[in-house]
Amino acid sequence: MKYANREWFYSYRKIFNVCSEKKMVSTVDKISKQYSGLTRNWTTSTNSEWTCRHYLATKMILNATVLTNALDFSSSVGMRIANPYFEYYATLSLLRALVYTIPSKSWDEGELISISHSKAINLAFDWLAKFDTATANKLKSLTLQLKSQREVISYRAPASGDSILSCSYDLFELLIILAEAAQLNSELLEASVKKNASHENFVVEYKHTQQISMLEVEGFTFCDREDSYRLDYIQRKQPYPLNLALTMTEGQVEDFIGSWDDSEEGGFNAGSPADWQKIFDIP
């Protein structure tokens, strides 16, 4: 689609309505200059880091998709106690997706992956404020509301159940704008890489893939073989940062979402690809 003096790969649903076209042109130009600062000094390590950051961001979009499908399922079977978790953690996933694409945010040897909730909230909405401060403030307030409602269930065990919680908000407006802000960033980085970077640096390094596929939490180590497989594919087939919609593959999407399906009758099922498009145009 064409908008703000550019051709865009992705067909955006909401983010171009956040501000005027004139403001969008100005904001996109400023962000592009930030990416140019990166890509004019592009190295093998920088390339590897940002390719992995984009892969991580796609996983966060897919995770939010699974969580919102689980939200639909829990509502349909009367498990409302889980709904505040699904709503907030879908939002947190997309906050992180956006943060992973912010050019000024350091990878910090992989520590960015587990950025705290409060930092993710502040960084993401500071970034959205570049487009429109009022929208950023409104969506940040909603995110804090979702966080507080999840904490009410977790820490106070309300005797009134969820009747004291609010549901008068547009969850998907929030989720779509966050996902699209990350996608927009990724398109600008991809364009800058193609313009400024040398193909000699299009390498994905093992240290970055291992930081994603191997993790330790509270002394317990987890190895994600599917991450290793997908990152190996990226190393061989697309070893530089493409935009998020292009980074996703049909195989990745089907395996990620399908891994949460329950084979038992009446269990959770994420549905068909037609059910996966509420937040993002997933291949």
Enumerate the domain spans of the chain.
28-203+239-276
Task: Choose between 216 and 91: higher pLDDT.
Answer: 91
Q: Which of 145, 141, 99, 94 is nearest to 119 (CA)?
A: 99
**pLDDT tens, 57-68?**
999 999 999 999
pLDDT for position 272:
79
How many Å apart are CA 75 and CA 82, to the nearest integer? Answer: 9
Tokens describing residue 155: 């820490």
Tokens describing residue 80: 């409302």
pLDDT class for 264, splitting at 50, 70, 90?
A: confident
Amino acid at 17: N
How many Å apart are CA 57 and CA 248, to the nearest integer? Answer: 10
Res. 265: pLDDT tops 80: no
How many Å apart are CA 265 and CA 33, to the nearest integer? Answer: 53
Res. 273: pLDDT tops 90: no
> Count of CB atoms within 10 A of residue 76's CB?
8
pLDDT class for 201, splitting at 50, 70, 90?
A: very high
Q: What is the rounded average pLDDT for all residues in the chain?
A: 95
Q: Which of 73-77, 207-211, 226-230 has the lowest mean pLDDT?
A: 73-77
Angstrom CA distances, 28 to 1, 121, 148, 222, stand at 15, 21, 33, 39
pLDDT for position 259:
92
Judge whether 105 and 99 are in contact, CB under 8 Å.
Answer: yes
How many Å apart are CA 19 and CA 199, to the nearest integer? Answer: 36
How many Å apart are CA 253 and CA 249, to the nearest integer? Answer: 6
Tokens describing residue 22: 């004139």
Cα angle 40-44-46, degrees, rounded to a multiple of 5: 60
How many Å apart are CA 190 and CA 192, to the nearest integer? Answer: 5
DSSP 18: S
Q: Which of 263, 254, 223, 215 is nearest to 66 (CA)?
A: 254
Angstrom CA distances, 237 to 71, 102, 146, 178, 240, stand at 35, 24, 39, 28, 9
**pLDDT tens, 155-174?**
999 999 989 998 899 999 99
